[in-house]
Amino acid sequence: MAAINHKTLREDEFFFGHKACAGCGASLVLRHVLKILGPNAVSVLPAGCMSAVGFNFPNLAFQNNSMISPFAATAPVMSGIRAGFDMRKKRGDKIPDDFCVVGFAGDGATADIGLAALSGAIDRDDNLLYICYDNEAYMNTGVQKSSLTPFGAKTTNTPVGTQIQGALSNKKNMFEIVAAHNISYAATASIGYLPDFLKKVAKAKDMPGTRYIHVIAPCPTGWGHADKDTINFAKAIVDCGLWYLAEYEAGDYKISRRPKEFGSIKDYLHSQSRFRALDDAAIAHIEAERDAKWAYIDTHWS
């Protein structure tokens, strides 16, 4: 297959006519992933923004086989589809060789309610491509904190109050949790670095076993930035070192992009309304956490 980039990407669309917000990062994830996987992708979407905007009978936005799963059950529904088609093929039914079961689940569906079920699928090493589109909160229900909401973020249930300001917990590290299962392949990505993301999806497409890609997908509504700036923030989060692009394969972690100098965390945070209340002490804390993480990455990962 020719190298995947924006020039070689297929022209036809598989996800359109949906009612996602202007500037929606997650919808770009689906659009691009499905262009790589092609018409024989079978997508599974739990409750969340992308199922809410894509599956409104009679306005159904997927051109490929697609279905909603129970919120907590993205992975097992995928496992069932895979096993069902594999058994039908074994019994002689005509099933295309290149069909791929792909899941598109948000941060809450992945790191909170669906975590045990995802763990089960990885344990079985089922042949699946699981994409977590991470917009760092429960955006579909109106911006509530998930376990992937970063420290200090204001959401509708982590308000900036007089006693407590924003989310108190740190973002859970799903990539390394998944890798700790000794999964076949895991990667992080950002829609701000599209070629890297597309390359990882193309690589994962034809691998056996369970593959997991965790992609940062900013949400203008929840993050509080202009809808034209989605890609800028998806770049900035990587450039300032708060999100890293990496792969896990055959037991090894590999960093895909090491910023030579980190961009300003303060600029990244204060240009979004969700972080506007953070004071210098809180920002210094976030910087220290970032530096500790990168010190570990630089000494332990290739």
Partner 1 sequence: MPRKFLSGDEAVAEGIRLAQPDVISAYPITPQTVTVERLSEFVANGELESHYMYVESEHSALAAAIGVSAAGARAFTATSSQGLLYMAECLTYASGGRFPIVMMNANRATALPWNIYGDQRDSIALLDHGWIQAYAEDAQEALDLCLMAYKIAEHPDVLTPFMINLDGFALTHTFESVDVPDNKDALDFVGRYEAFNCFSFDEPKNIGYSAGPAYNKYFKYDEHLGMNCALKVIDEVERDFEARFGRSYPGALESYHMEDTELCILTLGSISGLVRECVDIARERGIKLGLVKLRYLRPLPSGQLAQALAGIKALCVLEKDISFGAEGTVFTNIKSVLYDYKIELECFNVIAGLGGDDILPQDIKQIVNTLVDISHNKPYKRLQFLGIDTLQEG
Residue 38 binds to partner 1 (criterion: CB under 8 A): no
Nearer to partner 1 (CB atom), residue 68 or residue 282? 68
Interaction between residue 96 and partner 1 (CB under 8 A)? yes
Q: How many CB atoms lie within 10 A of CB 297?
A: 16
How many residues form the binding site for partner 1 (CB under 8 A)?
Answer: 49
**Could you tell me the CA-to-CA distances from 159 to 130, 163, 169, 225 in Å, in that order?**
31, 10, 14, 17
Stretch that binds partner 1, among 86-94, 197-205, 254-262, 289-297 (CB under 8 A): 86-94
Residue 108 contacts residue 139 (beta carbons within 8 Å): no
DSSP conformation class of 62:
B
CA distance 20 to 14: 15
Kind of pairing between the strands at 252-255 and 246-249: antiparallel
* Alpha carbon of residue 299 to chain centroid: 26
User: Closest CB to partner 1 among 117 and 283?
Assistant: 117
Query: Which residues partner with 20 through β-bridges?
Result: none
Can you read off the two tokens belonging to residue 26?
């997650």
87 touches partner 1 (CB under 8 A): yes
> 122 vs 237, which CB is nearer to partner 1?
122
Quick check: 57 binds partner 1 (CB under 8 A)? yes
Q: Please tell me whether residue 40 adopts helix, strand or coil conformation.
A: coil
- Residue 99 or 104: the one with the smaller Cβ distance to partner 1 is 99
Q: Which stretch binds partner 1 (CB under 8 A): 64-72, 163-171, 174-182, 206-214?
A: 64-72
Residue with tokens 């859970």: 172
**Given candidates 31, 124, 172, 285, which one binds partner 1 under the rule CB under 8 A?**
124
Which stretches of the chain bind partner 1, using CB under 8 A? 39-40, 42, 44, 51-52, 55-58, 60-70, 72-73, 75-88, 90-91, 93, 95-96, 99, 116-117, 119-120, 123-124
